[in-house]
Chains A and B, each alone.
Chain A
Amino acid sequence: MSTTSLEGPPAYGAEPRPDPGPAPLAPLEFLRWTWRQLTSMRTALILLFLLALAAVPGSVVPQESVDPLRVIQWKDQHSTLTPIYENLGLFSVYESTWFSAVYILLMISLVGCILPRTKVYWKAMRARPPRLPRNLARLPAHRTFSTDAAPEDVLDRAGRALRGYRQDTTTDDAGGSVSAEKGYLREAGNLLFHVSVVIVLVGFAFGSLLGFKGGVIVVTGGSFGNNLAQYDDFDPGALFSPKQLKPFFFTVKDFDVTFIKEGRETGMAHKFSAGLDYQASPDQPTEHTRISVNHPLKVDGTNVYLIGHGYAPVVTVRDAAGKKVFSGPVIFLPEDSTFRSFGVIKVPEGTPKQLGFEGEFYPTYAFTMETGPFTAFPEDKNPALSMAVYAGDLGLDSGVPQSIYALDKEKLTKITDDAGKPVRVDLQLGNTVTLPDQLGSITFDRVDKFVKLQISHNPGGWIALSGVVLALIGLLGSLFIRPRRIWVSVRRQDGRTLVEVAGLDRSAGGDLAGEIDELAQQLEEKA
């Protein structure tokens, strides 16, 4: 659609910008040129695409901030790619420099767009409707008719028909005209939307600077006190200090889960919940609660969520003389939805050499020649452990912090039997296996359960939320308010009154033909 000079300030997005040409060399000019480039719609579009593209790798490569354990597993499996990915920041895409660069540029572009447009809008909002254009027939919607009614009457009727519009009426000897405009809020909505995007980002930043997110695995019967040392992983905001952690304490009393027994969803865990005894602070009384998915425990601004669960087989390791050297629940992490789980047992003291066990836990052990060992069901109906045994130095004293879910095998050797075959201990519930070379024995006593909890504090949430809600309101305004201008010109000609009605829809998808027809009809009928 042609743009004519009578349009005044441009409607949303229709800003015609001259091509700024090649970059000038003078520093000030160059800055201005850069700014203009950056804030142009074309650049904004390209930045939007870059943002979309930059977000993709984060959905393909496991993310530190989403699932640290999967990152470790991934790194184990891909030794060549890991250093490259690490350099590119692909394990924390959304905190990486390049991702930040894209959205910061986009924000600058956004602000560079909002500011001048606010100024233009401020003027436009207070302006009178533009005067009657010289040639109404050039407008996209246009109707003409003649009538016997007096020009003043027609103008009067037009004024009433255009109620809700900002109007200016002019009269002269030959007749007169009405200029009318409405839909000013479209641009307001548009500006609100873009400002809100900035608000959302501020809220997001606020939350990630001042909040924290941590994860901990607790075996039933175990407890947790909210201090840094107790977390398995802890991801604080840049401005969050561990001293700000609220001093609550809880014990996981029990954990309930039901597994679906038939249908395609067989084996899916549902209705799981954990019973917690908690104290909001050491001087508060103990209270009992149950937490489950969608129902976290809220203590003092911090929330405790139940996000996962699994098995912790209880084993006892004895030395050759039968003295207990290790006993307790060991967390085995589920590897898939069948709850076949992987874990390690470390026995640092009491036996001639340090011992390490590494292997699988099967909740309902089953075996076929084709599949090898597997678990037939995720519930612990026939629990079994199958582990390889290592002896030597666990590397616990090397000073390098170690995952409790992996063995450092550098100074460990696999134990073999007399025939030189690696030893595997296969334990059914209650069984004991004696290890070769006077290394002792291991017993599988019972199965406990563990819960995976996420503990987090998200202070900027409400800012981000109100930002998005405002953005939505602005968006609705900018999409559905249709700014339009309508002119009615009335002239006395050859003893009759010639009426011209024309309109201009300034929205992005508008068509005023219907409204103009209707208005013309109204004026004609009453005339």
Chain B
Amino acid sequence: MNHDQFGQLSNWSIVLAAVFYFAAFITHLAEWAAGRTVPADSEGALLGAGEALTAESGASVPVQVTAADRGAERGADDADDVEARVARLSAIGFRLTVVAAALHLIAVVSRGLAADPVRVPWGNMYEFAMTATLVVTIGYLALFKKYALTWLSPIVTGFVLVVLMVDVLILYDPVVELRDALQSPWLIIHVISAIIATGAFTLGGMASALYLIKDRWLRKHEGELPTRGYLARVPSLLQLDRFAYRTHAFAFPVWTFAALITGPIWAQAAWGRYWGWDPKEVWAFITWVVYAAYLHARATAGWKGKAAAIVALIGLATLWFNFVGINFFFGNGSQHSYA
């Protein structure tokens, strides 16, 4: 295949990937719609199952809300049927997402092969967003079993779908050679670490957002646990917080590496200063400080839980603002205006 054909392949696979994400998203919505009709016995089944699943031993397939210990008066047979349907839909959605991720990966790789000379596909916003969403999906798929992420499925697939649509419709750029400033081996290491951190922070932010939603629900209902619908199947606050923390704890050092180590080294080589308070650098620094605050907040009395989750979301907002906002609002003033 020649470069142009790879470009075509990339364009087609990203569209096809979006179609599969869409199918997965719809399936997961159907899954939760199906689950709405019966109580999700959250106190017993879900908490128990969740506890077992966070154990390091690694756990069974996540669609484990067994109806076994439900009372007969609730109509155990009906509930069984519904649970079976929920489980089936979840499994289908998961498989559709795997297919979507594979197509997504093909799109990213062929995008790199489409350039002449062949290069890493992280040269502009279109490529960055495409790769960052792939990281979100891969992170989600990889952690799916360990953390029983069924509750995250509609959010991840919906989010990736929306971002890919925006990416293809608005940010699309034909393949061109890398501009001079980007022709450096540091591109690979600096940008991929920024992308991985962005993906992981995004996943963590989803858990933090759910934490806030569930927390609000619990406050409103004075501690009574939700029994029906989506929220009933979202794990306990403790588990949400733990999942959010672990993804953030992974992302933060990676971000440190991207923004504060490889970034300055490259900036020293390209622009003659390792830190110049360029708008992109300023916002990368702000993001770093906010996430540092998150890690501290999580360990401070009075800031644990809700406040920490809010801080995490502020961090995510600064991160995405840095990615989108800087390019659109400060385009001329930033030396980073390509990315």
Contact = CB atoms under 8 A, between A and B. Distances in A.
Contacts of B265: 465
A461 B269 CA distance: 12
A421 to B, nearest CB: 33
A42 B300 contact: yes
Contacts of A514: 55-57
A468 B284 CA distance: 15
Interface residues of A, number: 67
A456 B273 contact: yes
A263 interface: yes
Interface in A281-319: 292-294, 296, 303, 305, 307
A14 interface: yes
Contacts of A465: 261, 264-265, 274
B272 A469 contact: no
Interface string B74-98: 0000000000000000000000000
Interface stretch (B27-35, B128-136, B170-178, B212-220): B170-178
Interface string A260-285: 10011100111110000000000000
B302 A12 contact: no
Interface in B278-295: 278-279, 282-283, 285-286, 289-290, 292-293, 295
Given A263-B174, A307-B271, A465-B264, A42 B302 contact: yes
Contacts of A94: 277
B268 A45 contact: no
A524 B112 CA distance: 55
Interface string B156-191: 000000000000000001101101110110000000
Nearest to A203: B274
Interface residues of B, number: 60
B233 interface: no
Nearest to B243: A509
A45 B303 contact: yes
B297 interface: yes
A303 B268 CA distance: 10
Interface stretch (B13-21, B40-48, B245-253): B245-253
Contact of B181 (A12, A293, A456, A461): A293
B248 to A, nearest CB: 9
Please indicate which of the listed interface residues A12, A52, A461, A508 has the most CB atoms of chain B within 10 Å of its own CB: A52
Interface string A388-408: 000000000000000000000
A454 interface: yes
B173 A265 contact: yes
A65 B275 CA distance: 11
Contact of A59 (B261, B264, B282): B282
Contact of A468 (B56, B57, B180, B256): B256
A191 interface: no
Interface stretch (A148-156, A340-348, A474-482): A474-482
Given A59-B279, A213-B273, A508 B332 contact: no
B68 interface: no
B296 A458 contact: no
A161 B269 CA distance: 51
Interface in B254-269: 256-257, 260-261, 264-265, 268-269
Contact of B330 (A12, A59, A480): A59
Contacts of A42: 300, 302-303
Contact of A204 (B242, B269, B275): B275
A48 B56 contact: no
A509 B246 contact: yes
Contact of A48 (B245, B293, B318): B293
B56 A509 contact: no
Contacts of B253: 472, 475-476, 479
B276 interface: yes
A439 interface: no
B298 interface: yes
Contact of A479 (B55, B252, B264): B252
Interface string A56-67: 101110110111
Given A58-B277, A268-B179, A465-B265, A51 B289 contact: yes
A468 B253 CA distance: 11
Interface string A67-101: 10010000000000000000000000110000000
Contacts of A45: 293, 296-297, 300, 303
A45 B252 CA distance: 17
Contacts of A412: none
Contacts of B116: none
Contact of A13 (B54, B179, B289, B296): B296
Contacts of A272: 180
B274 A464 contact: yes
Contact of A41 (B177, B269, B296): B296
A511 interface: yes
Contacts of A454: 271-273
12 contacts: A48-B292, A48-B296, A49-B293, A65-B277, A307-B272, A468-B256, A472-B256, A479-B253, A479-B295, A508-B245, A509-B246, A514-B55
Given A213-B273, A264-B176, 7 more contacts: A13-B298, A59-B279, A66-B278, A67-B333, A269-B180, A465-B264, A508-B298
Interface of B: 51, 54-57, 173-174, 176-177, 179-181, 183-184, 242, 245-246, 249, 252-253, 256-257, 260-261, 264-265, 268-279, 282-283, 285-286, 289-290, 292-293, 295-303, 318, 326, 330, 332-333
* 5 tightest A-B CB contacts, nearest first: A13-B299, A514-B56, A305-B272, A514-B55, A59-B279
